[in-house]
Every structure is written in C-alpha cells, then in structure tokens.
Structure 1
Amino acid sequence: MDKNEALAWIHGRSKFKIKPGLERMEWMAEKLGHPERRVPAIHVAGTNGKGSTTAFLKFLLMEQGYSTGTFTSPYITHFNERISINGVPVPDEDLIALIKKVKPLVEEAANLPIGEPTEFEVITMMSLLYFSEKTVDIMILETGLGGRYDSTNIIHSLVSIITNIGLDHQDILGESYAEIAEQKAGIIKERAAVISGVDQTEAKKIVEETSKERSAPLFRLGEEFSITQAEDEQSFRYKFHHEAQYQISMLGDHQKNNASLAITTMDILKESGWMINRSLYGQALLKTWWPGRMEVVRQHPYTLLDGAHNYEGTLALVKAIETLYRGRTIHVIYGAIAGKPVKEMLNMIKKVATTVTVVTFDFPKALTKNDYQSIDAGLVHYENSMDAYEQVKQEAAEEDIILCTGSLYFISEIRNLFD
C-alpha cells in the first residue's frame, strides 16, 4: 500500500454520512487496547476558533518542553497535517502503518450491527493510536462536528475548551443557539475544568448548567478571566491567576480571545500539578501561527487568506478588516459551499470590499455559477481559483489588498498557489 492507495481507502469511507453515537469508536478502542486512555488530553469544541485556540495551546505546551499531539480538521496544505506531533505531520510511512492496523477493524465492523465507521471516525482512531504509540506528553483534539456524539468524545479530557457558539450545521446540530450549545457542551466531563469563550446568552446558560450538573469547574472569558486591549494593536492585557501583557502575531481581535482561552488552560494545568513556567508564555504566543486564518501569503500584491466559513466567522473577518485595513482598497475572492447563509455572508463582506469575485472550486458541495447568480446576478464568477486570482491580481493596484475567503476547503485549494 502506498500513500495514494492509503488516502483512497480513507476517503472511501462514508465521508459525508453522519452516524450519531460513539458505539463504533468505543468498539474500535476496545479492540486496540484503549489508546485514548494512555495520553492526557485536552478537548476543543466550538463553532469558530478551534484551530487557532489549538495552535496557541500547542505552541504554549511545546515552549514548556511538552511533546504535544494535535488532531485538527480540515487540513489546509495536505492530509497528514491533521495528525501532528509538535507541529510535524504524521510521516507517510506511519500513516500507512496506522491504516493497516485499523483497516481490518473497519472491515469487521461493517458486518456487525454497529456498521462501518465513517471517515472521520477512522481518522480519529488513527490519531489516538499514533499519539499513544509515540508516547506524547499530551494531546489536543478538536471536535469535527458538535461534541456530544463526535468521535473525539471517547476521550476523558483534563480540560474541555468551548471557544464559542454560532449558528452553523443547523441541519445536524439544531436550529437554535441552545440546541447547538447542548451538543458542544457534550464534551464537558465530570469534575474536569471547562474553559469557555461563549458569549451568546442562551448558549452561555447551557454551558453553565452542564458544567454545574457535572461538577466541572467553569472559567468564563469576561468573568473568571478577562482581557483588555493594550496600546499596541497586536497586544492585550490578560487577568486571571496572574496578570500580564501579551502580544500575538495572528491578526484580528478574535485571536486575542482564542489566545486567552489557551493561556487560561495553561494556568489550570499549572494548578493541577503540571510543570509550567509562565515566563515562557509570551514567546510562545508570538510564535503561534495557523494557516488560512488572516494569513498573509504574499506582500506584492498584499494577499490575505481567511477561512471565514460561516456567519460568525464572517463577522469576525469584517471587524478585523475594518480595524486593520480601514480605507484600503480590498478585492475579495470568495468560494463557498452549499448549506451556508452565503447571501448574508456576502452582504457583510461587501461592506469592506471594493470588488467581489466568486469561484467554483474543486469540491463536491462548492457553489456553482448558477448558485451565485441566484444570490446576486452581478457577481463576477470563475470556474477555478487560479484564474480568479490571476485576473484580480492584474486589475489590482500595487497598494491594494486581495482577500481570499470563504470555505476552508476553498482556502486549502487556493493556498496551493502560494506554496
């Protein structure tokens, strides 16, 4: 089996099929000797900010000398990055070896009442197996969708982080903030600390009630810990069990919130006995980066990539553009998938955009030319990302900004132009 065959097998699982329940994960875990129990874990859920919060936490832990495994989704540059240790993606040979270990179980399960595991379940189990085999000090797992029935929820986490709650994947998670919050809060474990950046009233109440029911100490941004803007745009003052001023490289006020969740998690680990030196926080935060999140990929013309793939993400993006690039000419290249409030998101983007170009990128659920024209007949459309970027680049003045945004799958495709 080579890598192409390995990936073809993974992608041949039920990619977009949702199978509620943890029965398949629990069955595979038992067969593999419960790798999820061998490594201390931090669990991250939320509508937006999971990847960035995980990145901040990874750099903070690595700066302390801890070997840190991360399981993230989707990938931006290549598949292997979804399973990484200290920021290094799983090597191809290890990836193939992991598949060879889980493949017989997947085939066996297909003939049982529990049924064949989905693609995400398979990749989750591979990550747990990899981290346990490599004996990392700690692992950080992002949920794929929701939390309560997400395949990652077989772990017994030291800390559960809920970044925020927004209206996304409503066909699966529920129509209201409260329903979605109930799914995300499903990662909260008995007596395990909860770090929350949730500010929506209904959702916040659900997180508070669930934490209380499970005797889980709750630490909320804006209450138990807080941040305030410092003089420098990229700096903020943090206050919890210590007070300090920190600076980050990642752009946007929302990244300061994400950084504060990670810092608070570190302080909670320190209180529980982990050897942690707070003086190392600052340099770790400055080193932190995450692809496709307000990422500058080219200086001439100045080109930004941001995976604002839902309503709340678009709000954060527009706020960041207004703050950081007010008065500049912004040319937006936008790619979206079905099932999102694209009309509303485009209307928000138009507030900061001088021009908007839309793209049908290589993805099964990508919007087509007809889809876009039904939203706005005046939108300029291209059938591929490269043609769109080259045309916008030709038309942009030297001091203009090109912003590529929308689905993370679109960001993954267009980012290849800059590697």
Structure 2
Amino acid sequence: MIDSYEDALNFIHGRSQFKKIPTLKRMRKLLAELGSPDKKVTAIHVAGTNGKGSTVAFLRNILEEDGYTVGTFTSPFLIKFNERISVNGVSLPDAEILRLAQKLYPVVKKLDQTLPEGGPTEFEIITAMMFTYFAEGHADIVIIEVGLGGLFDSTNVVVPKVSVIVTIGWDHMHILGDTLPKIAYQKAGIIKPNVPVVVGRVDQAPLAVITHTASEKKSPIAVLGADFMAVNPRERNWIESFDFTSESHQINNLATSLIGDYQTDNAAVAIQAYIAYTQQAGKTIHKTSIINGIKKTRWAGRFERVATEPTIVLDGAHNISAVDEVVKLLQNDFEHDQVFILMGILADKQAAKMVKKMATFDKAKIILTHFAGPGKRQAADPKKLDQQLGDLGKEVEVIADWQQAIEQIKPLLNDNDMLLITGSLYFISDVRKYLKVNSK
C-alpha cells in the first residue's frame, strides 16, 4: 500500500531501472490500462545528449510569455524528485505525487503478474505519472524531455506538435552505440511522420542520419547553422547577448544570464521550436515573448554563479561533450588569474578523458573529489582516477572529502580567481544544498 509521499517515492525508486530488451510495448500497455493519457496532451518532445534542460527552460519561458500554461517533464532532478513534473516552473506538490503513485500502483502490480518480463521500470512509471497528470488538463502545452536516447525512451509514445534534437555527443555509449551516427539514430527515433523537427548544432555525420530519418518520415526540418542561427554572441558581466536570424525572422540584442556560445545555440533552438509550434497552431509569433522569455530564463547548475566573493560557479558538465563546451567558455570569456576546478564524476562516465580535457585549459588547477552517487551508481574513486592520468596526475590534487575541499580552496582564491565545481549533476545537487543555494 502507498499511504504517504515517502511510500510513493519508495515504490517508484524501488523499481528496476532497465530491462534487457528495449521496447515501447510495455509502456504502451501501461498507458492503455490508464486510459491512454498520452493521447490527451499537446506536446513538444526534446531529445539530445546535452542542452535539453536549458532548451526546455528557454522554450517554457517563451511560451509562458505568450500566455500559455506550460508543463514540463525533465530529469534528473536537482534538489527534489517533484521537480521532474512541473507547471510554469513550479514542481508538483507532495500530495499530487502521492495521488498519482496511488493511481498507478494497482495497474503496475497487475502488469507485474501478467507480463513475462515483469512490470514497468522506474522511468516508465514516472513517465506514466506525467502523462496521467497532464491529461487531466493542468497545462495548455507540455514540453517533454527524453530520458535516455529517444527511439526506445518511455516518452517516445507521444506524438508531439514539434520534435527537437538539441545536440549529439558522447554519452551512454554502452546503450546507444559507440559512434555518433549510431547515437544520432537513437535520438532521431523521436521524429514522427509529418511532424516538424528542429535540430541544434550537430556534426555532419550524425546530422546526415537525422536528415535522412526526417526525409523518410516527410517531416519538415530546420537545422541550426543552415536554416536559423544564433549570431554575434558576446558575453559581458555574466550576461550573454546574441542575435537570432532565420529566413523569416530577425531578432536582435537577445540577452540571457545562461552564458556560453552553447547556451545561445540552445536559445536559438528553443526560439525556432516556438516559431514552428506557433505556426502550426495558426497563431501569431510575438517577438516580445521571445525577447522576454530568453531574458527571464534561469537554469540551475549550468555555469551558474552562486557566489561573488569569492567567485564560485556550479556546472553539471557530466560527459565529455559538456566538458568540451566548458573549456571553450573558459578560454573565450574568462580572464581569471586561476580557475580552481573541483571535479566529482560518476564512475560510468569517461572520467579520465573528462579530466584530461579540462586540464587543457592552461589556468586550471584541478582537484578530484568523491561524492555519494545516486542509488547503485558509484562516483569515480579520485585516487584511482588520479593514477589513470599518468604524467598529468602530477598537476592534479586529490581531496576525497568534497566539503573539506571547498573549505580548503576558498581561502586560496583572490579577487580574480574562480572556483568551478563540476562533474555529475548529482554532485552539483549535493553542493547546492551544502552552499544553501536557492533553487529558483
């Protein structure tokens, strides 16, 4: 029985995370038992290796400025589970999580007994909770973030108004494939027949896979750098400015507190997705909604400055592609004397490669640390990681206790230094709580 919010979370997190054979049949069966709530939502579907969260946040704010009530489904959460299902940026209350879990519980138990491979996974249950909630009419439009990949992701039962693929990079290769085109094939699995697709900055080989899939599905496609662009990006005083241009629209002097060229790319993808959705709905595109929505967007843990004396920045660069972008940002936009980089990385990531890439920034002083990974997933052992680095290890320090590391580094910072705390988003979540950072 589920009698409390804690019971609900125990029920959800107690489920298996993966099944041996990827399939959407189990998800469709679960939703059919619940009255097919996925068919009752108006959605935009967002996939990508990195940048999904920021793109969802930009798009949500633009649509809110247009007067829509906007639901979002995102992962992972930063502070509390409820963040995964939100309305206009406000997480569901505990009572709603409890109600939804209670509604799903008997259906899940029934499928446990009737399906040969066992009942739904943890993410399938959370996805079904989301569809169930939004089918009740709590939002005009729902922006749904893919959990993993696309083709066999639980969210891929939805037929959206627009599909979005933000980036293709190296992550989850043991599941999605060991080349970028293979990963792109999985992400392109969200493209639906005749549904417009918006694509971010993607290399030529994986882009070819996406454009081929769009062509097969007769889906109109708009690609960043070809059909629309973020141009003239410039950063000053922790504000990134840029212009958006496409065949039909020109919007100058857009500004966001999410800094880095990759964030202007994400913003441009969100703008193009808004344009595609609005045109489909036969409604007016409002430039003021775009300008104000981009300006208002905040996204915790993405090169987020949380203190100024000394400067402390949090960034959930949790894979090699994300580290590449952070290094570019540091090289292009920052003239600090030294950047102390405290890294806590999950063991199932390319941890050594991530550290080596970060070390290419010549003002970096890297400190490896440890944190409690989520569930059964382990954080990389900083001492073993240090040994894997070879000669580079001489330049790297290990402080296993991350709280102790922060307190040791802070007094070393002068006015022109920065402490960048990065790696896993789960690590960033722990640090935010420790530093008492407001989530809003």
User: What is the TM-score normalised by the length of structure 2?
Assistant: 0.92
CA change 1:185–1:231 in 2 (3 A) is closer
Alpha-carbon distance between aligned partners in 2 of 1:18 and 1:275, rounded to the nearest angstrom: 46
Mind listing any 5+ residue stretches in structure 2 that lack a counterpart? none
Which AA in structure 1 matches 2:244?
A: Y
Alpha-carbon distance between aligned partners in 1 of 2:359 and 2:210, rounded to the nearest angstrom: 34
Alpha-carbon distance between aligned partners in 2 of 1:59 and 1:19, rounded to the nearest angstrom: 37
Partner-residue secondary structure (3-state), 1:148: coil
Alpha-carbon distance between aligned partners in 2 of 1:34 and 1:124, rounded to the nearest angstrom: 12
Mind listing any 5+ residue stretches in structure 1 that lack a counterpart? none
Which AA in structure 1 matches 2:70?
A: T
Alpha-carbon distance between aligned partners in 2 of 1:231 and 1:335, rounded to the nearest angstrom: 30
Matched, 1:418 2:425: no
Give the match for residue 365 of structure 2.
355
Matched, 1:261 2:269: yes
Matched residues, number:
419
Partner-residue secondary structure (3-state), 2:419: strand
Give the match for residue 244 of structure 1.
251
Deviation of the 1:373 alpha carbon? 2.8
**Root-mean-square deviation (Å):** 1.6
Query: Is residue 165–residue 200 contact of structure 2 (8 Å, CA) maintained in 1?
Result: yes
Alpha-carbon distance between aligned partners in 1 of 2:106 and 2:407, rounded to the nearest angstrom: 46
Alpha-carbon distance between aligned partners in 1 of 2:365 and 2:421, rounded to the nearest angstrom: 12
Alpha-carbon distance between aligned partners in 1 of 2:151 and 2:168, rounded to the nearest angstrom: 14
CA change 1:232–1:305 in 2 (3 A) is closer
Of 156-165 and 232-241, deviating more is 232-241
Q: Deviations over 1:256-311 (max 9, x none)?
A: 00000010111112211135422221111011011110111111211111111111
Deviation of the 1:230 alpha carbon? 5.0
Which AA in structure 1 matches 2:259?
A: L
Q: Deviations over 1:168-196 (max 9, x none)?
A: 11100011111111000000000000000
Q: Deviations over 1:41-91 (max 9, x none)?
A: 001001110000000001011111101110111111211101101000010
CA change 1:289–1:344 in 2 (3 A) is same
Within-5 A mapping of 1:176-191 = 176-191=179-194
Give the match for residue 346 of structure 2.
337
Q: Deviations over 1:385-405 (max 9, x none)?
A: 322211111332343210001
Which AA in structure 1 matches 2:183?
A: I
Query: Is residue 336–residue 416 contact of structure 2 (8 Å, CA) maintained in 1?
Result: no
Deviation of the 1:329 alpha carbon? 1.2
Query: Is residue 319–residue 350 contact of structure 2 (8 Å, CA) maintained in 1?
Result: yes
Alpha-carbon distance between aligned partners in 1 of 2:234 and 2:58, rounded to the nearest angstrom: 22
Give the match for residue 121 of structure 1.
124
Partner-residue secondary structure (3-state), 2:207: helix
Give the match for residue 365 of structure 1.
378
Query: Is residue 162–residue 198 contact of structure 1 (8 Å, CA) maintained in 2?
Result: no
Query: Is residue 201–residue 225 contact of structure 2 (8 Å, CA) maintained in 1?
Result: no
Deviation of the 1:115 alpha carbon? 1.8
Give the match for residue 328 of structure 1.
337
Query: Is residue 404–residue 411 contact of structure 1 (8 Å, CA) maintained in 2?
Result: yes
Give the match for residue 176 of structure 2.
173
Deviation of the 1:247 alpha carbon? 1.4
Alpha-carbon distance between aligned partners in 2 of 1:411 and 1:19, rounded to the nearest angstrom: 32
Tell me which of 404, 421, 424 is aligned to 1:407.
424
Alpha-carbon distance between aligned partners in 2 of 1:8 and 1:382, rounded to the nearest angstrom: 33
User: What is the TM-score normalised by the length of structure 1?
Assistant: 0.96
Query: Is residue 56–residue 143 contact of structure 2 (8 Å, CA) maintained in 1?
Result: yes
Give the match for residue 95 of structure 1.
97
Query: Is residue 194–residue 211 contact of structure 1 (8 Å, CA) maintained in 2?
Result: yes
Alpha-carbon distance between aligned partners in 1 of 2:283 and 2:93, rounded to the nearest angstrom: 29
Alpha-carbon distance between aligned partners in 2 of 1:198 and 1:185, rounded to the nearest angstrom: 14
Query: Is residue 230–residue 237 contact of structure 1 (8 Å, CA) maintained in 2?
Result: yes
Which AA in structure 1 matches 2:224?
A: L
Matched, 1:138 2:138: no
Q: Deviations over 1:95-115 (max 9, x none)?
A: 000000111111111112252
Alpha-carbon distance between aligned partners in 2 of 1:169 and 1:100, rounded to the nearest angstrom: 32
